Structure 1
Amino acid sequence: MEALHHFSAVTGLSANSDKSSIYMAGVDDETKTKLLESTCFRAGSFPMKYLGLPLSPKKWTKLDCHQLSMKVTEKIRSVASRHLSYAGKLQVVNSILFSLHNFWGAVFILPQIVLKDVDEKCQDYLWGSSENAKKVSLVAWEKVCKPKKHGGLNIRSCRKWNMASVGKLVWLLVTDNEALWVKWVHGIYMKSDVDFWSHTPPSDCSWYWKNLNKIKLGMQQWFSQRRYMLTKDGNYSVTMSYLTLLANTDEMEDHTHLFVDCAWSKAVWRDIEQWLGVQVPQVEANMMLQFIHKKRWCRMKKEIIAAAHGARIYFI
């Protein structure tokens, strides 16, 4: 309470005991009683709401996520949504319904049954199914969720997007050691483990930490299956297309080979030079920009060549 009293003395604000609750875990009844008497707060119960999201220390169940399912159903049942064309319904799925799921999925590892239920609701809405009339889906949902250039409608699958969103936490654990919650994780679960990739979760850890490590194992399989890999300079690169450039060798890809030494990359740059009618040395990106900056060309020519160089990197 000392911190609250100090805050009140400095700011002139005080906590409203009628609107404040204290949440306790891992303490006995006697300690709970003392804390409630000293703070004059009421004991809170889980799940609690924070920024519109329910928080709970226990494993999520379908009942806990009932609110998400109900919000999606309410949006689908609205009069404005029911009388739209396929194109209009597609926009509703990609914007409104996806934003509802993403608000939850970016924070929680949601149960698979909930993710499947949300996907089914979006699928039924897109093809015109309702509680009273069931319509056959014209295209499989897996194909619909593919990018447009691969024949899909660019809809994000709830299951895969939830894994990708929570995967950001794995990335932060590996790269951002200054984040407060990363320091907390290292202090509680990874006391002796420096490398998160080789860490084995203890048997008495929370269900969320266990599931986060399961996602880590799934990400490791991406690399073992050679779908993605690390370059020599520590950056990620998609390797399926690079294997052809490397003549199917086991050599690790790097930026110098990809954008400077690779024969296919050189052929792409020669075609660009021929199209622009100029000759520019094939060097790394930062050296290329320095070369363009030093040349006594007009501003428009410099911008065109710089844009062409950027397009080449994006194409490769």
Structure 2
Amino acid sequence: MLQMKLTFKAVEGHEKYLGLPTYIGSSKKRVFQAIQDRVWKKLKGWKGKCLSQAGREVLIKAVAQAIPSYAMQCFRLPKSITDGIAKMCRSFFWGQKDEEKKIAWVAWEKLFLPKKEGGLGIRDYDIFNRALLAKQAWRILTMPHSLMARVLKGKYFPSSTFLEASVNPNSSYTWKSILSVKDVLLKGACRVIGDGRNTNIWNDPWVPNLSNFRVHGKDGSRSANVP
């Protein structure tokens, strides 16, 4: 009724909310293609300018790498998208224009190293994406009373812990993305023992001097350091 009086158009659905897609269908590449296009527009505008490699490095780090960071905190971008962005940055860095070919004097992967190790500190998009999602997973694990953790726990793992949670067919793509990097936490997460009531000494990672922090190995065998 209010809409008719004020004569404004009703919004039937929101394709995006705060710049992020609200619905992820089967074609994830199509959904996230806009991110790659935004990076391409930036790089295309810089290609005609006379920039040194140092200037290209700064632009890649400050702008091209910053554009997908927001979405990477919530979603696992398809490998084809991250590889496409990396390819555009690589071409821009070595000074390629249109279809021309320029010599790449150093392997692109070596530029991922810190400057003190001979690289430039340029990010690997896929690894950076996993790191940002692992940060969200760590927040759920260490801040269980936060709003995000309580909402996700109530919906996806109400009767278990985050490390025991699994993906079901009705899970959102955000939840699937966060769970896809749970192995990153498991590699270095060690339980701090309190009163011991909630700790399973045989299966939980709690022993600091063992390789996987567990008394039993992945195959169920006893760790070598355990008497």
TM-score over 0.5 for the alignment? yes
In structure 2, which of residues 69, 84, 96 is the aligned counterpart of residue 117 of structure 1?
A: 84
Higher relative contact order (CA 8 A, sep 6+): 2
Match of 1:44 among 5, 8, 13: 13
Change (3 A) 1:204 1:64: closer
- Distance in 2, Cα, partners of 1:43 & 1:79: 39
- Over 3 Å counting, the alpha-carbon distance change for 1:206 and 1:51 in structure 2 is closer
Contact 1:17–1:42 under 8 Å retained in 2: no
Shift, 1:140, TM fit: 1.4
Structure having the larger proportion of residues in helix = 1
Question: What is the match of residue 94 of structure 1?
Answer: 61
Q: Distance in 1 between matches of 2:48 and 2:64?
A: 11
Unpaired runs of 5+ residues, structure 2, are 195-207, 211-227
CA deviations over 1:12-60 (Å, ceiling 9, x no partner):
xxxx7735xxxxxxxxxxxxxxxxxxxxx44215xx2223333324356
Contact preservation (8 Å) 2:28, 2:78: yes
Equivalent of 1:212 in 175, 178, 183 = 178
Residue by residue, what CA displacement relative to the aligned partner does 1:156-211 show, whole Å, maximum 9, x if unpaired?
11111111111111011101122222111111110111x21122333443343233
Q: 1:17 to 1:53 in 2, by over 3 A?
A: farther
User: Residue by residue, what CA displacement relative to the aligned partner does 1:260-279 show, whole Å, maximum 9, x if unpaired?
Assistant: xxxxxxxxxxxxxxxxxxxx
The one-letter amino acid paired with 2:98 is E
Q: Does 1:162 align with 2:129?
A: yes
Matched, 1:135 2:102: yes
Q: 1:18 maps to which residue?
A: 8
Give the unaligned 5+ runs of structure 1: 6-15, 20-40, 235-249, 253-316
Matching of residues 213-292 of structure 1 within 5 Å:
213-220=179-186, 223=187, 228=188, 230=190, 251=209
Contact kept in structure 2, 1:59 and 1:208, CA below 8 Å: no
1:74 shift after superposition: 1.2
CA positional deviation for 1:230 = 3.7
| Whole-angstrom CA distance in 2 between matches of 1:118 and 1:203 | 30
State TM-score, norm by structure 1: 0.55
| Number of aligned residues | 195
Deviation string for 1:67-121 (max 9, x for gaps)? 2112111111115763100000000011011111213222322111101111111
Letter in 2 for 1:163: R
